[in-house]
Copies of this chain bind each other. A is one copy, B any other.
Amino acid sequence: MNRNDPHRVIKAPTGTTLQARSWLTEAPLRMLMNNLDPDVAEHPASLVVYGGIGRAARDWDCYDRIVEVLKRLGDDETLLIQSGKPVGVFPTHADAPRVLLANSNLVPHWANWEHFNELDRKGLMMYGQMTAGSWIYIGSQGIVQGTYETFAAVARQHFDGQARGRWILTGGLGGMGGAQPLAATMAGFCMLAVEVDESRIDFRLRTGYVDKKATDLDEALAMIEAAKADGEAISVGLLGNAAEVFPALVERGITPDVVTDQTSAHDPLNGYLPMGWSMAQAAEQRELDPAAVVKAAKQSMAVQVQAMLDLQAAGAATLDYGNNIRQMALEEGVTNAFDFPGFVPAYIRPLFCEGIGPFRWVALSGDPEDIYRTDAKVKELIPDNPQLHNWLDMARERIHFQGLPARICWVGLEDRARLGLAFNEMVRNGELKAPVVIGRDHLDSGSVASPNRETEAMQDGSDAVSDWPLLNALLNTAGGATWVSLHHGGGVGMGFSQHSGVVIVCDGSEAAAKRVGRVLHNDPATGVMRHADAGYDIALDCARRNHLDLPMMTGKGAEA
């Protein structure tokens, strides 16, 4: 298995010349390549996009073969990808997806990291995380708005909307975590982000996601204090281990206003550096004695979570940011690890009830102008949402594009299909230089079952029911999305989640308009349905307002 090749440098083609036989196959080709662009991926030489070991293809042979197949694939054929390997091409039809992917799925009794890692080492599997294996990762921007929305909600809920003069402590500046400092300052907070890997801090400095670097805690705290005094919102990347820095603050009696974490705690083998270890040592031990790495990492996480609980007790608003660190600490004996809430039930669920989540699109032309035109179209179509307009302005000003130009913006059932149809029309009439793809994270309203994160503490107790994301994937396939994926273990690790992804191409055709209209309606509608079924009034109202046909609730005859 050839999994590491430092000589490979992948860039998606841009412009309007096709490598494949149509835009419906050119699109997955460019998006796969874009996922592995060195400006986008965390470790492109080993096909790792983000999220610990979230890969875009199983190995370089599989990558090459996927590219070959996409170039020859017909518009009545469908390519199957099994954990990053192209396993079959089958006859389908024009309105069927061109690619169907299943990544990292294991029968539950065997769905743990030990078994997965064994299969992964044997070359039989790959970890797909969420958008890595489903080819719709767009760099750290992907997470910025979600993080910004969350921090803004924290400010509203705890500080009367006033973030100024407040600061957030967090860990991890990786693919997703790297969005935290930018989102924090956009929302008006200062941030201290602890990161063990200096190259990650430098990468965030270079791309404008973090403002300053510090190499010791005193220096970092001084920077934060100075900024607070000036009423400025700045972010500092501190080189250090979160399991050491968090308890050090407890010891000193220094309490941040908000505490969270985005190390890759969901993957204790590959995603979290144990305290006292060097990066080189961890890399070596991962090969020599993986069980010892896991043990040490989980013990350090327990220390970090204990510090988070202590800071919470001292008055900090503390939240789990979806990396399953509470579960890991619980397994190491921190019995009250779940005393601080996950961010979804605390801040995001009301949005999910209306199908609102991380909607995103990418300009296949490679031209930033195409994104700016769509930005303007979004403002035109959603004129009465100042927070959204503000986001679009800040995003344009402060977010550097990585790879193909892309935009993310949290909108829901009432807007997604309208926007998609407008973008398709813009492709048709030449306002955009080339087609756009529209997709979303798997962290969305109807696409995931993850009891320690997206479906934590559901009103009816249905947290672990994964029928919902499976139905979402089947319906998006039936509706004619361009590619659809089903993953396991994203975000929170093996055993803890099942989720689905979807991407659809706006190539400007009438046929695409039909598919876009269906898929971008149905996809968020399944989220509204899932939350209405669980008893959330906001979701039920949204379903009624949008005339969803939910037979036991709002369908024809349901009120009879």
A61 CB contacts on chain B under 8 angstroms:
552
Give min CB distance, A540 to chain B, whole Å: 13
A68 close to B498 (CB less than 8 A): no
B68 close to A488 (CB less than 8 A): no
A107 close to B68 (CB less than 8 A): no
Q: What is the size, in residues, of chain A's interface with B at 8 Å between Cβ atoms?
A: 87
Q: Which of B90, B471, B497 contacts A100 (CB 8 A)?
A: B471
Contact surface of A with B, Cβ cutoff 8 Å: 61-62, 65-66, 68-69, 72, 78-80, 82-83, 85-93, 95-97, 100, 102-111, 115, 118-119, 122, 124-125, 449-451, 460-468, 470-471, 473-475, 477-480, 484, 486, 488, 494-498, 514, 518, 521-522, 525-526, 529, 533, 548-552, 555-558
Asked whether A518 and B91 contact (CB < 8 A) given A109-B111, A474-B473, A478-B477, the answer is: yes
Asked whether A102 and B450 contact (CB < 8 A) given A109-B111, A551-B65, the answer is: no
Question: Bound complex: CA of A106 vs CA of B488, how far in Å?
Answer: 11
A556 CB contacts on chain B under 8 angstroms:
72
A100 close to B467 (CB less than 8 A): no
A518 CB contacts on chain B under 8 angstroms:
90-93
A106 close to B466 (CB less than 8 A): yes
Q: Which of B96, B124, B465, B495 contacts A479 (CB 8 A)?
A: B96
A556's nearest neighbour on chain B, judged by CB, is B72
The oligomer's copy count stands at: 2
A451 CB contacts on chain B under 8 angstroms:
107, 109-110
Question: Bound complex: CA of A475 vs CA of B93, how far in Å?
Answer: 11
Question: Bound complex: CA of A495 vs CA of B549, how far in Å?
Answer: 32
A470 close to B551 (CB less than 8 A): no
Question: Bound complex: CA of A525 vs CA of B89, how far in Å?
Answer: 10
Question: Bound complex: CA of A119 vs CA of B533, how far in Å?
Answer: 14
A452's nearest neighbour on chain B, judged by CB, is B109
Interchain Cβ contacts under 8 Å between A and B, 8 examples: A65-B551, A83-B467, A85-B552, A93-B479, A93-B518, A96-B479, A97-B474, A122-B461
Main SS at interface, chain A: mixed
Question: Bound complex: CA of A66 vs CA of B557, how far in Å?
Answer: 12
B103 close to A529 (CB less than 8 A): no
A462 close to B124 (CB less than 8 A): yes
Question: Bound complex: CA of A118 vs CA of B522, how far in Å?
Answer: 30
A467 CB contacts on chain B under 8 angstroms:
82-83, 102-105, 125
A450 CB contacts on chain B under 8 angstroms:
107
B464 close to A115 (CB less than 8 A): yes
Question: Bound complex: CA of A62 vs CA of B533, how far in Å?
Answer: 13
Q: Which of B95, B108, B460, B470 contacts A93 (CB 8 A)?
A: B95
B468 close to A82 (CB less than 8 A): yes
- Of all A-B residue pairs in the complex, the 4 with the closest CB atoms, nearest first, are A108-B111, A108-B108, A110-B464, A102-B467
B125 close to A90 (CB less than 8 A): no
Q: Which of B119, B462, B477 contacts A461 (CB 8 A)?
A: B119
A478 close to B100 (CB less than 8 A): yes
Asked whether A108 and B552 contact (CB < 8 A) given A91-B518, A119-B461, A533-B82, the answer is: no
A461's nearest neighbour on chain B, judged by CB, is B122
Known: A92-B475, A102-B468, A108-B109. 7 other contacts (CB 8 A): A68-B551, A87-B529, A91-B479, A96-B479, A107-B108, A107-B464, A473-B474
B465 close to A90 (CB less than 8 A): no
A464 close to B106 (CB less than 8 A): yes
